[in-house]
Chains A and B, each alone.
Chain A
Amino acid sequence: MWAYIVRRVLATIPVMAVVALFVFSLLYLAPGDPAAVIAGDQATPDDVERIRASLGLDRPYLVRFGAWVWDILHGDLGTSIFTNLPVSHMIAQRIEPTLSLMVVTLILAVSIAVPMGVVAAWKQGTSIDRAVMAFAVLGFSVPVFVVGYLLAFVFALELDWLPVQGYTPFREGFIPWMENLILPAVALGGVYIALIARITRATMLEVLSQDYIRTARAKGAGQRSILFLHALKNAAVPIVTIIGIGIALLIGGAVVTESVFAIPGLGRLTVDAILRRDYPVIQGVVLLFSFVYVLVNLLIDLLYTLFDPRIRY
């Protein structure tokens, strides 16, 4: 097991190298000029060129890429072109809100979606099943920002139960922290709940038709025991897989959710950096997201062994 973990962690190095090359190349080829944005309308072409040179943007592709990789190997993600602040500092400022949003959404989604999927499979063909599936379709179909606006309208503007926008750090108290996260987490969780509920239902239906479930019923096992002990545990591998895949969905959705609820997270940082062509920040954040995604996949692979003892590494 430990050898496997070490192998997988080492395997992230070439993956990250490919990601780094890909991101850097895409940004190099993408249109846009941060020097022109900085210089403003009044600047002469010479001014723009001088700013470009001062930022090192006039250097050849390979020189720039080499310098960036060299800095990363020394633990330096670079400095933002615009703010003059270290990229690692900017990421550190933004990581807590995004992490909080994702954790709350994950907990909320899994604790709602898995029971929904189990119940839908158990009550297959009934109105409960259809209601769950209808919700799942709705969750997939309605864009996150629409759900966000509706939630803000009802729970913040009309009922005045929750704040419209913003983020309160966890250190300032659990309640204020949670107050700011409930609406964004529900908005972001809609798609995720739909995805997990559908997969849970489909997997459970397959498991519930297996011989060992019939045997369990025949020996007089209770419904709850059949559903949660025998069936759900055997259905867990695909469910855990989809939860892992859904992390990417959450990262993408966080960009919109953070905009609608003015949460100062990594999603907003990424969008702002892209719009301004703040290359070091884009590269740093994309590298971080890629690394997180690789780690999540590793974690999911390790979780398989918990749910299915037949899996060995």
Chain B
Amino acid sequence: MTLGRRGVLAGAAASVAAPRVVGAQSAASRTLRVIPQANLTSVDPVWTTAVVTRNHAFLIYDQLCAQDASGAIRPQMAEGWAVSDDQLAWTFTLREGLAFHDGEPVRARDCVASINRWARRDPFMQVLWPNVAEIIALDDRRFRFRLHRPTPLLTLALGQTQFPCFIMPERIAQTDAFQQIRETVGSGPFRFIPGEWNPGQKAVWARNERYVPRQEPVDGLAGGRVPRLDRIEWTIIVDSATSANAINQGEQDYWEYPLHDLLPLLRRNRQVVVEQRLQDGTYGIARFNTLQPPFNNPAIRRAVAMAVDQRDYLRAVAGNDQAGWGVCEGVFTCDTPLANTAGSEILQTRSIERARAALREAGYNNEKVVLITPGDYPQINALSLVTADIMTRMGMNVEVISTDWGTLVQRRASREPVERGGWSIIHTTASGQSLALPVFHLFLRANGPNAWFGWPNVPEVEQLRGEWVEKGADAAEGRRIAQALNAAAMREMYYMPLGYYWQPSAWRRNIQGVFRAPATVFWNISKT
């Protein structure tokens, strides 16, 4: 152990001002200093889908129901819900004692307004929305969904983690879903401190003294959300090396997304814990533009897929440690009920030679392939460069355009040929949660102009997806449909699954109570 000048000075100062320092230390020990994964630029979780905004929202808002560690939906703000015999009426009852940060009680009409606003933006709820006849507040603690037809996925939509339904006061929730709210009043375990928000530098939350947690132990995002910290301070540090130094020196307590390259450095420090906290891996995705040559030809898309070895991609992103990633050759999240590899044999070819032969047979005529890669997203950039290398080795005419994310998200919307600013292939990543079910699996959609960028048009996939929404609640039937979906997606190959990697977090050893969850949340965590 070495003692630096600052340590000596601190010791000397402590000896002359002990009571004050003790007070300061105890206050400091109740403040968790966090380096979040990104800058908190917006505080409205309906207006933007940014994960960092969702994580902020988990601190200040509460949910009617939430996912436990097994993925099951359990009551959170709701005491429970009752379903009528004909399954056309769902009545939710709120727990007693719920209150917003401004002291107003949480009422059923707040829930109705919040659900209405959220439903306008959430893709999952939009699928179910035609089934909803109305939502009405029965009294202060009860509200009812009246449905046109049975909708067993209703609580799954309300309790999902991907785009959660957070409850706001009615006066705020009445804001148009496409306008950003200005007030940050929720009923969650922490209160946002707007006066200390300096976007790009700092965001601060304080314990909500009024919060009444559930009595059950914490389980994923379900159970008791007990605020054990006085303050949570997010400090935005964009430089990964600086973040690692700050954690190693104890200047920060928790780093949400350490860069994989820096994990060995962090692991060498005995005062730092490096563990996988998020329950789901992050999945790599390569997306073809199916409207323009050469990838408007499914045989050429399949030829590229034959050259893919997911392990190359995952090593490029997460290093050689195989505990840090996994091969997953289906379209659904591995180790979830719908995961299957029906028709995925093509992804197990892993041969440049066979891919080259398939490319010739497919009639590839040296058309230019434009691959756009975001240089400011290291993981997506790494995935992109591996694909560029594969296609070059296959003999394709590849042009790699390295740009920033802001430009990429605009250019990927172009349906023009590559000569007029279009694109051929892009990459992205998605959380495992978002790929677990057909109803919100963005990359599986194949409804032509309304599909995600690349715009595949495969009516069979859309028909199967609709079938799953109707019958998916039955496990066997749901699995059969999922297998058919996987086979169709592999046959059409409008996107290539590239496997998944784990994104660990790092925290100082004096941080206690860190638990695994589908999202980064800070209740039940304390600092000694």
Chain A residues with CB under 8 Å of chain B are: 31-34, 36-45, 47-48, 50-51, 54, 80, 82-85, 90, 93-94, 149, 152, 156-157, 159-166, 259-262, 264, 268-269, 272, 274-277
B180 within 8 A of A: yes
- The reply to whether B49 and A157 contact each other, CB–CB distance below 8 Å, is no
Interface string of B1-19 (1 = CB under 8 A from A): 0101111000000000000
Query: A33 contacts B409, CB within 8 Å?
Result: yes
7 A-B pairs closest in CB distance: A160-B4, A40-B49, A264-B201, A33-B410, A82-B41, A32-B406, A164-B245
Contact of A42 among B4, B176, B242, B442 (CB under 8 A): B442
Shortest Cβ gap from A257 to chain B (Å): 11
Q: What is the CB-to-nearest-CB distance from A276 to chain B, in angstroms, rounded to a whole number?
A: 6
Task: Name the contact of B406 in the complex, choosing from A152, A164, A269, A276 (C-beta under 8 A).
Answer: A276
The residue of chain A having its C-beta at the shortest distance from the C-beta of B247 within the complex is A164
Bound CA span A127–B381, Å: 48
Residues of A close to B5: CB separation below 8 A: 159-161
B510 touches A (CB below 8 Å): no
Q: Which residues of B contact A32 (CB under 8 A)?
A: 404, 406-407, 409-410
Known: A262-B242, A262-B246. A39 touches B49 (CB 8 A): yes
Whether A269 lies near B42 (C-beta < 8 A) is: no
Tell me the minimal C-beta distance from B253 to chain A in angstroms: 14
Distance of B124 from chain A, by nearest CB (Å): 9
Q: Given A159-B5, A262-B239 in contact, is the A166-B251 Cβ separation under 8 Å?
A: yes
When chains A and B are docked, how far (Å) is the Cα of A94 from the Cα of B200?
10
Contact of A269 among B7, B200, B237, B251 (CB under 8 A): B200
Check if B163 is an interface residue, CB within 8 A of chain A.
yes
Knowing A33-B410, A84-B182, A264-B200, say if A41 contacts B452 (CB, 8 Å).
Answer: yes
**Which B residues are in CB contact (< 8 Å) with A260?**
239, 241-242
The reply to whether B198 and A93 contact each other, CB–CB distance below 8 Å, is yes
Give the docked Cα–Cα distance between A15 and B198 (Å): 31
- List B386-441 residues whose CB lies under 8 Å from chain A: 403-407, 409-411, 413, 428, 430, 440
Please determine whether B249 and A157 come into contact, CB atoms closer than 8 angstroms: yes
Neighbour of B235 across the interface among A47, A94, A161, A166, CB < 8 A: A166
The reply on B50 being an interface residue by CB < 8 A is yes
Is the beta-carbon distance between A164 and B409 smaller than 8 angstroms? no
B42→A83 contact, CB < 8 A: yes
B450-A44 in contact (CB<8A): yes
Q: Of the candidates A159, A166, A268, which one forms a contact with B4 in the assembled complex, judged by CB atoms under 8 Å apart?
A: A159
Residue of A nearest to B194 (CB): A85
Closest approach, in angstroms, between the C-beta of B228 and any C-beta of chain A? 25
CB-based contact A268/B238 at 8 Å: yes
Q: Given B7, B49, B121, B405, which contacts A275 in the complex, CB threshold below 8 Å?
A: B405
Q: What CA separation (Å) do A94 and B204 show in the bound complex?
A: 17
In the complex, the answer to whether B411 meets A268 with C-beta atoms within 8 Å is no
Residue B202 is within 8 A (CB to CB) of chain A in the complex = yes
| A83 to B293 alpha-carbon distance, docked (Å) | 40
Set of chain B residues within 8 Å of A162, measured between Cβ atoms: 6
* Secondary structure type dominating chain B contacts: loop
B471 CB to closest chain A CB (Å) equals 24
Task: State the total of A-B contacts with C-beta under 8 angstroms.
Answer: 140
Complex contact B242–A36 (CB within 8 A): no
Say whether B179 faces chain A, with CB atoms less than 8 Å apart. Answer: yes
Q: With the chains together, A43 CA to B445 CA distance in Å?
A: 13
Given contacts A160-B2, A262-B237, contact A36 B409 (CB under 8 A): yes
CB-based contact A264/B406 at 8 Å: no
Q: Which residue of B lies closest to A256 (CB)?
A: B239
A165–B2 CA distance with the chains assembled, in angstroms: 20
Whether, in the assembled complex, B47 has its beta carbon less than 8 Å from a beta carbon of chain A, the answer is yes
Which residues of chain A come closer than 8 Å to B241, judged between CB atoms?
Answer: 149, 260
A160 to B249, CA, bound (A): 8
- Bound form: Cα–Cα A272–B245 in Å: 22
Q: 4 more A-B contacts (CB under 8 A) besides A40-B48, A82-B48, A164-B249?
A: A83-B42, A261-B242, A268-B238, A272-B200
Q: Which of B37-54 contact A (CB under 8 A)?
A: 39, 41-42, 47-50
A38 & B410 in contact (Cβ 8 Å cutoff): no
Name the CB-closest residue of B to A167. B201
Across-interface contacts of B251 in A (CB, < 8 A): 163-166
**Contact of B123 with A by CB under 8 A:** yes
A47 to B238, CA, bound (A): 30
Query: Is B353 in contact with chain A by the CB < 8 A criterion?
Result: no
The interface residues of chain B lying within 8 Å CB-to-CB of A159 are: 4-5
Is A54 touching B242 in the complex (CB atoms < 8 A)? Answer: no
Cα distance, A296 to B252, chains bound together (Å): 38
Name the residue on A nearest B248 (C-beta): A157
Q: A44-B450, A82-B199 are in contact. Are A272 and B179 (CB under 8 A)?
A: no
* B39 contact set on A, CB distance < 8 A: 272
Complex Cα distance, B248 from A157, in Å, reads 8
CB-based contact B6/A40 at 8 Å = no
Closest to A160 in B: B4
B477: CB under 8 A from chain A? no
B178 near A275: Cβ-Cβ < 8 Å: no
Q: Are B121 and A47 in contact (CB under 8 A)?
A: yes
27 A-B pairs (CB sep. < 8 Å): A31-B406, A31-B410, A32-B407, A33-B406, A36-B410, A40-B48, A40-B49, A45-B450, A51-B178, A82-B41, A83-B42, A83-B199, A84-B182, A93-B198, A93-B201, A94-B201, A156-B245, A164-B245, A164-B251, A166-B246, A259-B242, A260-B239, A260-B241, A262-B236, A262-B237, A262-B238, A272-B199
CB B37 to nearest CB in A, in angstroms, measures: 14
Q: Which one of B4, B238, B245, B440 lies within 8 Å of A152 (CB-CB)? A: B245
Q: Are A164 and B242 in contact (CB under 8 A)?
A: yes
CB-contacts of B185-211 with A (<8 A): 198-202
A-chain residues with CB within 8 Å of residue B121 when the two chains form the complex: 43, 47
The answer for the CA separation of A272 and B40 in the assembled complex, in Å, is: 11
Task: Check if B249 sits within 8 Å of A156, measured CB to CB.
Answer: yes
CB A53 to nearest CB in B, in angstroms, measures: 8
Q: What CA separation (Å) do A80 and B43 show in the bound complex?
A: 13
Which residue on B lies nearest to A93, using beta carbons? B198
Per-position binary interface string of chain B over residues 49-92, scored 1 when its CB falls under 8 Å from any chain A CB and 0 otherwise: 11000000000000000000000000000000000000000000
Tell whether B376 is near chain A: CB-to-CB under 8 Å.
yes
Chain B positions within 8 Å of A85 at CB level: 199
CB distance from A258 to the nearest CB of B (A): 9
A83 contacts B201, C-beta separation under 8 Å = no
CB distance from B119 to the nearest CB of A (A): 13
CB-CB under 8 A from A50, the residues of chain B are 178
CA distance A152 to B450 in the complex (A): 50
Q: In the complex, what distance in Å separates the CA atom of A234 from the CA atom of B410?
A: 56
Chain A: minimal CB distance from B313 (Å):
19
- Please state if B238 and A259 are interface contacts (CB–CB under 8 Å): yes
A40–B41 CB distance below 8 A:
no
Contact, CB under 8 Å: B41 / A83: yes
Closest Cβ of chain A: how far from B377's Cβ, in Å? Answer: 11
User: How many Å lie between the Cα of A163 and that of B4 in the bound state?
Assistant: 12
Which residues of chain B (119-162) have a CB below 8 Å from chain A? Answer: 121, 123
